[in-house]
A = this chain, B = another copy of it.
């Protein structure tokens, strides 16, 4: 048998785990990603809230698979699939594979309101995070200059839509920066009077946690000054704010910026698979994580929907993607070793090992649920900090990040409070322009 060729689509947690597992095999592995970096998503909200710099939570994928390994990295976008012909189509051409791991992840879903994406930034990429930061800080700059008190009040109002971990972390961090870091800097406005509204359509926050912990998170946020609106949904979103609906009552909230943490859907490439997808566009995979009808194709991470025999769905978190990536790669590795394809029934069944859930709310506030242990407050926060630093990829990032956190903890200062970027003045390659923020 010729040296088999494995293609991995995506350099997130799932694709990376698969690539690492396949390093030890006798296969030629190619990992495609349209970006050059792996992003440590769980800390992305800290870039959005001026605590960390992008390079502290991102690492070039090439760096993780040097030329000495059998894993080649190509910065190239995959735009189509032909599973019957075993072909992946990229912006540059066609690529044949023996095995395929689809780990392209998810993107924001605005539930059919695509026009909302302009007004309510989500948090998926570094660009998203920097744009969230820019709009937040620029809004205070405008408020500082505004003479109309009503408009000033609106510029100091921020709405976060969605009460999952991202929404909770974002709302908590924004409240913290507003009340602790910014006040000494402004003279016409009192940033500690910032209004932060967290809107959640369901009846509680953090549905992946126990009701007790959801309630603890809500109370913590309220004590930090965040208005938590449960059973409330966004009706319209425009450049000046949102209209929300709770029961029969609708309310208009004018805001300096609106952030979206409410919904995700599978990346479009999931649609090219041609098999069953769920409401969020995710590929429904078999017990071995393969795509039905294509035993040599696997889908892992946020782009896949896996429900085990007991009816439990693997959650869309980093641990889920990592475990799925490893599982799929292990099956591929074994078949490559043995030189023959296995029957579906012979393959090991994927089992998600729940290592626990953590969400941070603010300084010294977090909730953690490890099944056998449920904690909140400072112990949960310390554990959260420890686990996240331990998992950060790359030695350098760990040390620098730790220093930043210690510094931030002591001083309440936030180092990355820059308003940079944006605009479209350069023509040829869509370069970063020089337009002023807040203009």
Judge whether A49 is part of the interface by a CB distance below 8 angstroms.
no
Cα A73 to Cα B419 in complex, Å, equals: 14
Interface membership of A144, Cβ < 8 A: yes
Given contacts A67-B186, A75-B141, A396-B407, contact A429 B422 (CB under 8 A): yes
Instruction: Specify how many copies of this chain sit in the oligomer.
Output: 2
Whether a CB of chain B sits under 8 angstroms from the CB of A339 is no
Number of interface residues of A (CB under 8 A): 79
Contact check, A430 vs B419: say whether CB atoms are below 8 A apart.
no
- Name which residue of chain B comes closest to A121, CB basis: B431
B36, A137: Cβ atoms closer than 8 Å: yes
Q: Is A330 at the interface (CB under 8 A from chain B)? A: no
A428 in contact (CB, < 8 A): yes
Taking a contact as CB atoms under 8 Å apart, the answer to whether A56 and B53 are in contact is yes
Q: Once the chains are docked, how many angstroms separate the CA of A187 from the CA of B69?
A: 10
CB distance from A199 to the nearest CB of B (A): 20
Given A66-B185, A74-B145, A423 contacting B430 (CB threshold 8 A): yes
Per-residue contact bits, chain A 413-439, to B (CB 8 Å; 1 contact, 0 not): 101111111111011111111111111
Q: How far is the CB of A141 from chain B (nearest CB, A)?
A: 4
Taking A53-B55, A55-B418, A127-B421 as contacts, is the C-beta distance between A187 and B67 under 8 angstroms? yes
Taking a contact as CB atoms under 8 Å apart, the answer to whether B400 and A404 are in contact is: yes
Residue ranges of A at the interface with B (Cβ–Cβ < 8 Å): 34-37, 53-56, 58, 60, 62-63, 66-68, 72-77, 91-92, 117-119, 121, 125-128, 130-131, 134-135, 137-138, 141, 144-145, 183-187, 239, 394, 396-397, 399-400, 403-404, 407, 413, 415-424, 426-439
12 contacts between A and B (CB under 8 A): A35-B436, A55-B418, A74-B145, A75-B436, A77-B436, A77-B439, A92-B145, A127-B432, A131-B432, A134-B431, A400-B403, A422-B432
